[in-house]
Chain A
């Protein structure tokens, strides 16, 4: 699941350079998921799912403790944690210092959302939702890990 989340973020990071450089890849990926899910599950449905994912992600990435999911499902405070999407930058240094590597926290959050979708909806519907949100991206079913890895 983490691989799939990283792929989505990488995809958004590439698009980031082309169009909206000020917005983080995590936020853009999250927003795409939000739009896609709100349309069929409602804002409240997405909000509760995202809140659960955030709590789960916070156990892996304590840096996300400052992040909140608002009533309409938007993400607040992520900019302070996830200023950029360069997954490799200073990764080793940050890990040594006990901090979340930049971009890693976002990947964890997105992975948790995908993990919950996989748990509730199964692989076929989750991938179908992703294809809808990222029509130009290609998703290989094998990357989902069948929900065993988050």
Chain B
């Protein structure tokens, strides 16, 4: 009992990574739950994980199987999962087949069989798999309702946490009495999205508990079901107070343009077309962080970590040593069928493991391509959730984004996501003196003042190097086709005070 005299509901671990947070901290003890979904959606695996996480020889789990999948085959396959501990059978986990009584007798006999076994074993967990096949024989609505009611009452009274597993369709939700009686209703979906399969989990109902609403993606791996909460496991996390610390790029002129660097906890967007040096800038940002003692993470989608590190090495940036020392993680996220939530899980896991302060996402276009097609439609909303969550725990994010170069427009991003970012650095090509040169400008800094200068830069063997002073003798630089201030086209002497080597 709590101090206020209210009953305290004990929460049991689900045994499914990520699911405890979704259900509000764990599954309510003695609850009567349904796991519904189409065949192959992971219902049995989820139930097994719960059973293996909670069954003990003193309070075992009774797993009733009914028709459907043969128990021998079920155990044959389920034991492939890492959570499956054969030592728990048959002491802590007991499989009981009810096929015969279901086939040959009525629901009253089925109930008696279950009650006899429960009274004998005093289980903490009871699973009926599949409940749907148990009640498939023709019977009156009243008979069915009475059976469900008595079963639920009995199991709750015997202090068992129960899962009934069934292949239900969503249009059955309204009329089936089982859904009324249930305390918890877990719905598993498996939907094809073009050539990808997306698995989603929804807690349609969970009495007495504040579960996270919405559809949560999940994956089935050799470790079983793994769920990815839409809140990224940060429920209850208090947003870190804003920091006044500035994080440098290690490019003195750029850091000056940024008023000393980007504010810690900001989301920075580096936008530019192909070859403008977005990735180089991002690599310098992460390398400078490591030099300053700030561990970092680089999420790459278009190349392997080794190739990324080698490219950095060609710029004189050593990423291999911090990788070995555990100060840098280069995450290569499996392409084509990711969800943002799953990506976030990998990133957050790494953030927590190495205490990362800086994160580079290189690039947003690669990230979007790595997602399953169904998630691409929600990319903007997903980015919002991700950036909000990561900056909320004090991580500074630098994302690169490729924009189509136009000589009439100056877009910041193809995703209309600039509102999600605190700071924007725009890189672009500009045509001067018959050369395609590069300019850089800080478009926005939410946390303070920044230089308004348009600066020319080059990519050298030392990375991004900003050249000379701001370009003062041109108009229309951001159009990409500037005019000399005297009205002529771009002049050869325009950059003469900038130290740019003139080509003859």
Q: Which residues of A contact B (CB under 8 A)?
A: 38-45, 49, 120-122, 124-125, 128-129, 132
Residues of B within 8 A of A122 (CB): 76, 79, 86
Closest 10 CB pairs of A and B: A124-B86, A42-B97, A40-B95, A42-B99, A41-B71, A132-B90, A120-B76, A128-B89, A40-B71, A120-B72
Q: Which residue of B lies closest to A44 (CB)?
A: B99
Task: Say yes or no for B136: interface residue by CB 8 A criterion.
Answer: no
Cβ of B96 under 8 Å from chain A? yes
Q: Point out the residues of chain B lying under 8 angstroms from A38, CB to CB.
A: 97
What is the CA–CA distance of A49 and B89 in the complex, to the nearest angstrom? 20
Contact of B72 among A39, A41, A43, A124 (CB under 8 A): A41
The reply to whether B97 and A40 contact each other, CB–CB distance below 8 Å, is yes
| Interface residue? B500 (CB, 8 A) | no
**Main SS of the interface on chain A?**
helix
Query: Are B100 and A43 touching (Cβ within 8 A)?
Result: yes
Task: Check if B70 is an interface residue, CB within 8 A of chain A.
Answer: yes
Residue on B with the closest CB to A38? B97
**Which B residues between 447 and 471 are near A, CB-CB below 8 angstroms?**
none
In the complex, residue of chain A having the shortest beta-carbon distance to the beta carbon of B88 = A128
Q: With A49-B72, A120-B76, A121-B75 in contact, is A42–B65 under 8 Å at CB?
A: yes
Q: B71, B94, B95: which has the most chain A beta carbons within 10 Å?
A: B71
Chain B residues positioned under 8 Å from A129 (CB to CB): 90
B85 to chain A, nearest CB (A): 9
Q: Which residue of B lies closest to A128 (CB)?
A: B89
Chain A residue nearest to B85 (CB atoms) is A124
A129 to B94, CA, bound (A): 11
Contact A120 B73 (CB under 8 A): yes
Measuring CB to CB, which residues of chain B are less than 8 angstroms from any residue of chain A? 65, 70-73, 75-76, 79, 86-87, 89-90, 94-100
Distance (whole angstroms) from the CB of A135 to the closest CB of chain B = 11
Which B residues are in CB contact (< 8 Å) with A45?
70-72, 97, 99
B76 touches A39 (CB 8 A): no
A88 to B96 Cα, complex, angstroms: 39
A143 vs B76: C-alpha distance when bound (angstroms): 21
Output the residue of B86, B98, B99, B100 with the most chain A CB within 10 A: B86
A42-B100 in contact given A125-B89, A128-B86, A132-B90 (Cβ < 8 Å): yes
Q: In the complex, A37→B166 CA distance in Å? A: 24
- Chain A CB count within 10 A is highest, among B87, B96, B97, B99, for B97
Question: CA separation between A32 and B279, bound complex, in Å?
Answer: 69
Contacts of B100 in A (CB 8 A): 42-44
Residues of A within 8 A of B70 (CB): 41-42, 45
- Could you list 18 examples of A-B contacts with CB < 8 Å? A38-B97, A40-B65, A40-B71, A40-B90, A40-B94, A40-B95, A41-B95, A41-B97, A42-B97, A44-B99, A45-B71, A45-B97, A45-B99, A121-B72, A125-B75, A125-B89, A128-B87, A129-B90
CB distance from A34 to the nearest CB of B (A): 13
Distance (Å) between the CB of B13 and the closest chain A CB? 24
Q: Say whether B97 contacts A124, CB under 8 Å.
A: no
- With both beta carbons as reference points, the residue of chain A lying nearest to B99 in the complex is identified as A42
Smallest CB separation, A113 vs chain B (Å): 12
Cα distance A121–B97 in the bound complex, in angstroms: 16
Chain A residues in 8 Å Cβ range of B73: 120
Point out the residues of chain A lying under 8 angstroms from B89, CB to CB: 125, 128
Please name all residues of chain B whose beta carbon is closer than 8 Å to the beta carbon of A120 when the two chains form the complex: 72-73, 75-76
- Docked pose: A38 CA to B98 CA in angstroms: 10
What is the chain B residue whose CB lies nearest that of A36? B90
Complex CA gap A39/B95 in Å reads 7
Q: Which residue of A lies closest to B66 (CB)?
A: A42
A39-B97, A40-B90, A41-B70 known, 5 other contacts, Cβ within 8 Å: A121-B79, A122-B76, A124-B79, A128-B89, A132-B90
Shortest A98–chain B CB gap in Å is 36
Min distance, Cβ A45 to any Cβ of chain B, angstroms? 5
Question: Which residues from A are CB-within-8-Å of B99?
Answer: 42-45
A129-B99 Cα distance, complex, nearest whole Å: 20
Q: How far is the CA of A49 from the CA of B72 in the complex (A)?
A: 10
- A49 proximity list for chain B (CB < 8 A): 72
Q: Looking at the assembled complex, report how far the CB atom of A33 sits from the nearest CB atom of chain B, in whole angstroms.
A: 13
The verdict on A128 contacting B90 (CB below 8 Å), with A39-B96, A41-B97 known, is: yes
A40-B97, A42-B99, A43-B100 given as contacts; is B71 within 8 A of A124 (CB)? no
